[in-house]
């Protein structure tokens, strides 16, 4: 009997870093066979990841959706997303990886639109195919990153930060991303509050499930948190909390052998029956129906509002 899968592995950045653990830029082939073998099992990163497939192709499953990624394609992975990859034999390209702290993404309001569009969006849509001219431009940036990492001259971290920001700006332009139009005097503050709120959800969704819980930590009223959330993302703060819980439930149901009852307890529900009703209310499927459909490769019912 196959061993029961009861958890999803978490990968930290030092496992991919050879020396500097704050930033990684590398060709895929130089990461070695362990990298390719490891990525075929469901896991999640504690860091942001950009993959550029230059040659060959891979089958990439993120959460429960599978994509075929072919040559000269960029794709972007946010921390804590569950994914697995199956590479063709002749695949090569680059991996760029960095933690929140490297970009100060929580504090950099002017990067909010880029982060939201490339790494966090309504569905996994950040797959960008480059034309010949775009390929040349991105190749120059990546090669410069690799040179900075290798030589580590004075100020190399500042140079890497600037190169990464430029890389993300160019990718965001190609994707056609746009930031929400909000009054300039409120934009930076609201963006900071919203990103703080999203980070609080990641840290607390197992045990805090009400908008008021998060509003208290942000020292604002729940109605204001809802207004900011709708302004910057199109859905309420309550929907963000609910969607995050549903997403994690889907990840466990798809990637492990835990029962619905065991998943309920992992997500902080004291009553497994309430969890099952909660799950079905917002997905139109019971946990077992979702698991069967997702593993059979059939389309699964979405939430009443998008997961961000």
In this predicted model, what pLDDT tens digit does every residue of 190-235 receive, in sequence order? Answer: 766 887 898 899 889 999 999 999 999 888 889 989 988 888 788 8
Tokens encoding 179: 């930031």
Predicted local confidence at residue 305, as pLDDT: 38
Predicted local confidence at residue 105, as pLDDT: 46
Tokens encoding 166: 């430029």
Tens of pLDDT, residue by residue over 146-189, are 999 889 899 998 899 899 989 998 998 888 743 443 444 445 55
Positive or negative, the Cα torsion across 139, 145, 151, 154? positive
Q: How far apart are CA 42 and CA 58, in angstroms?
A: 15
Tokens encoding 83: 């994914």
The distance from CA 255 to its chain's CA centroid, rounded to whole angstroms, is 16
270: Cβ contacts below 8 Å, ≥ 6 apart = none
**Residue 49: φ, ψ to 5°:** -135, 135
* Domain 9-175 CATH superfamily: Regulatory protein AraC (2.60.120.280)
Predicted local confidence at residue 300, as pLDDT: 60
Locus of tokens 């302004």: 231
The distance from CA 12 to its chain's CA centroid, rounded to whole angstroms, is 14
Residues linked to residue 10 through DSSP beta bridges, in sequence order: 44
Q: Where in the chain is the domain with CATH 1.10.10.60?
A: 185-295
Quick one: fold of 185-295?
Answer: Arc Repressor Mutant, subunit A (1.10.10)
Predicted local confidence at residue 298, as pLDDT: 65
Positive or negative, the Cα torsion across 195, 200, 205, 210? negative
Predicted local confidence at residue 84, as pLDDT: 85
Q: Where in the chain is the domain with CATH 2.60.120.280?
A: 9-175
- 92-98 and 82-87 strand pairing: unpaired
Predicted local confidence at residue 56, as pLDDT: 86
Predicted local confidence at residue 124, as pLDDT: 47
The distance from CA 288 to its chain's CA centroid, rounded to whole angstroms, is 25
Asked if residue 230 lies in contact with residue 194, where contact means CB atoms within 8 angstroms, the answer is no
Three-class SS string for 248-266? HHHHHHHHCCCCHHHHHHH
Counting as low any pLDDT under 70, the low residues of the chain are 1-6, 13-21, 103-117, 120-125, 177-189, 191-192, 298-308
Q: What is the b/e burial string over 217-226, where b = at least 16 CB atoms within 10 angstroms of the residue's CB?
A: ebeeebeebb
């Amino acid at each position: 009997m196959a061993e029961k899968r009861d958890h999803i592995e978490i990968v930290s950045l030092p496992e991919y870093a050879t020396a500097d653990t704050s930033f990684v830029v590398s060709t895929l082939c130089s990461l070695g066979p362990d990298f390719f073998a490891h990525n075929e099992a469901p896991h999640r990163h504690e860091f942001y990841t950009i993959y550029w497939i230059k040659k060959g192709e891979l089958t990439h499953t993120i959460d429960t959706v599978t994509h075929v990624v072919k040559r000269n394609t960029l794709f972007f992975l946010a921390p804590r997303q569950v994914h697995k990859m199956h590479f063709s034999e002749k695949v090569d390209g680059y991996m760029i990886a960095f933690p929140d702290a490297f970009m100060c993404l929580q504090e950099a309001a002017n990067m909010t639109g880029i982060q939201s569009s490339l790494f966090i969006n309504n569905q996994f849509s950040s797959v960008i195919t480059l034309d010949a001219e775009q390929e040349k431009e991105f190749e120059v940036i990546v090669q410069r990153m690799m040179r900075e990492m290798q030589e580590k001259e004075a100020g190399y971290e500042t140079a890497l930060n600037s190169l990464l920001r430029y890389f993300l700006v160019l990718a965001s332009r190609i994707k056609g991303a746009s930031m929400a139009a909000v009054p300039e005097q409120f934009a930076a503050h609201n963006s900071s509050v919203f990103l703080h709120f999203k980070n609080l959800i990641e840290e607390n969704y197992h045990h805090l499930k009400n908008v008021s819980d998060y509003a208290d930590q942000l020292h604002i009223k729940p109605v204001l948190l809802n207004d900011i959330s709708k302004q910057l993302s199109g859905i309420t703060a309550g929907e963000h909390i609910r969607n995050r819980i549903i997403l994690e439930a889907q990840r466990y149901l798809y990637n492990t052998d835990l029962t619905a009852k065991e998943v309920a307890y992992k997500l902080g529900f004291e009553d497994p029956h309430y969890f099952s009703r909660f799950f079905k209310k917002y997905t139109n499927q019971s946990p077992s129906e979702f698991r069967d459909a997702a593993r059979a490769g059939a389309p699964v019912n979405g939430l009443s509002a998008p997961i961000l």
